[in-house]
Chain A
Amino acid sequence: MITVTALKKNFGARTAVNQVSFEVEKGTVLGFLGPNGAGKTTTIRMIAGFLMPTEGSVTVLGHDVQADPVSAQRQIGYMPERTPLYEDMTVEGFLRFIAEVRGYRGAERTERADQAIRACMLDSVRHQVIDTLSKGYRQRTCLAQAILHDPPVLLLDEPTEGLDPNQKQVVREMIARMASEKVIIISTHVLEEVEAICNRVIIISNGSVVADGTPAALKQRSKHYNEVHLSLGSASGPAVKALSALDEVQRVEVVAERDTTCELRITPKQQAPVIAAVLKAVASHGWPVTNLKVDGGRLEEVFRQITRTEDAA
Chain B
Amino acid sequence: MSSRTTIRAILKREWGAYFNSPIAYVFMVIFLVMAGFFPFAVSGLFEGGQATLRPFFFWHPWLYLILVPAVAMRLWSEERRSGTIELLLTIGVTPTQAVVAKFMAAWLFMMLTLALTFPVVLTLIYLGNPDLGVAFTGYLGSLLLAGAYLSVGLLTSAMTRNQVVSFILAVLVGLFLLLAGFPPVTELLSRWAPEWLVAVVAGFSFMPHFETMQRGILDLRDVVYFLSVIGFMLCATHEVLKSKAAEG
What residues make up the interface of A, taking CB atoms closer than 8 Å to B? 9, 11, 16, 42, 45, 48-52, 69-70, 73-74, 76, 78, 80, 82, 84-89, 93, 97-98, 100-103, 105, 145
Contact B91 A85 (CB under 8 A): no
Shortest beta-carbon distance from A30 to chain B in Å? 18
**Candidates B13, B17, B83; contact of A82 at CB < 8 Å:** B83
Contact B84 A73 (CB under 8 A): no
**Candidates B1, B17, B82, B92; contact of A84 at CB < 8 Å:** B82
- Tell me which residues across on chain A come within 8 A of B84, comparing CB atoms: 84-86
- Tell me which residues across on chain B come within 8 A of A78, comparing CB atoms: 90-91
A80-B86, A86-B13 given; A101·B248 CB < 8 A: no
- Tell me which residues across on chain B come within 8 A of A100, comparing CB atoms: 5, 9, 12
Contact with A along B57-101 (1 / 0, CB 8 A): 000000000000000000000000011111101111110000000
- Tell me which residues across on chain A come within 8 A of B47, comparing CB atoms: none
Question: Does chain A have a CB within 8 A of B42?
Answer: no
Which size class do B's interface residues fall under? 20 to 34
List 28 A–B pairs whose Cβ atoms lie within 8 Å, in order of A's numbering: A11-B247, A45-B86, A48-B90, A51-B246, A51-B248, A69-B94, A70-B94, A74-B92, A78-B90, A80-B86, A80-B87, A80-B90, A84-B85, A84-B87, A85-B87, A86-B13, A87-B82, A89-B20, A97-B9, A97-B12, A100-B5, A100-B12, A101-B9, A101-B92, A102-B1, A102-B91, A103-B1, A145-B87
Which residues, 1 to 54 on B, are CB-close (under 8 Å) to A? Answer: 1, 5-6, 9-10, 12-13, 16-17, 20-21
Shortest beta-carbon distance from B163 to chain A in Å? 15
- Tell me which residues across on chain A come within 8 A of B87, comparing CB atoms: 80, 84-85, 145
Question: Does chain A have a CB within 8 A of B245?
Answer: yes
**Candidates B12, B17, B83, B245; contact of A80 at CB < 8 Å:** B83
A73-B92, A84-B86, A88-B21 given; A52·B9 CB < 8 A: no
- Tell me which residues across on chain B come within 8 A of A93, comparing CB atoms: 16
Which residue on chain A has the smallest CB distance to residue B9? A100
A52-B245, A87-B82 given; A98·B91 CB < 8 A: yes
**Candidates A50, A82, A88, A89; contact of B245 at CB < 8 Å:** A50
Expressed in whole angstroms, the Cα–Cα distance for A39 and B247 within the complex equals: 15
Contact with A along B210-248 (1 / 0, CB 8 A): 000000000000000000000000000000000001111
Which residue on chain A has the smallest CB distance to residue B93? A101
**Candidates B5, B21, B90, B245; contact of A103 at CB < 8 Å:** B5
Contact B83 A84 (CB under 8 A): yes
- Tell me which residues across on chain B come within 8 A of A102, comparing CB atoms: 1, 91-92
Expressed in whole angstroms, the Cα–Cα distance for A262 and B248 within the complex equals: 58
A87-B82, A97-B9, A97-B13 given; A70·B92 CB < 8 A: yes
- Tell me which residues across on chain B come within 8 A of A145, comparing CB atoms: 87, 91
Expressed in whole angstroms, the Cα–Cα distance for A82 and B84 within the complex equals: 9
Shortest beta-carbon distance from A233 to chain B in Å? 60
Expressed in whole angstroms, the Cα–Cα distance for A45 and B246 within the complex equals: 11
Which residue on chain B has the smallest CB distance to residue A86? B84
Shortest beta-carbon distance from A128 to chain B in Å? 14
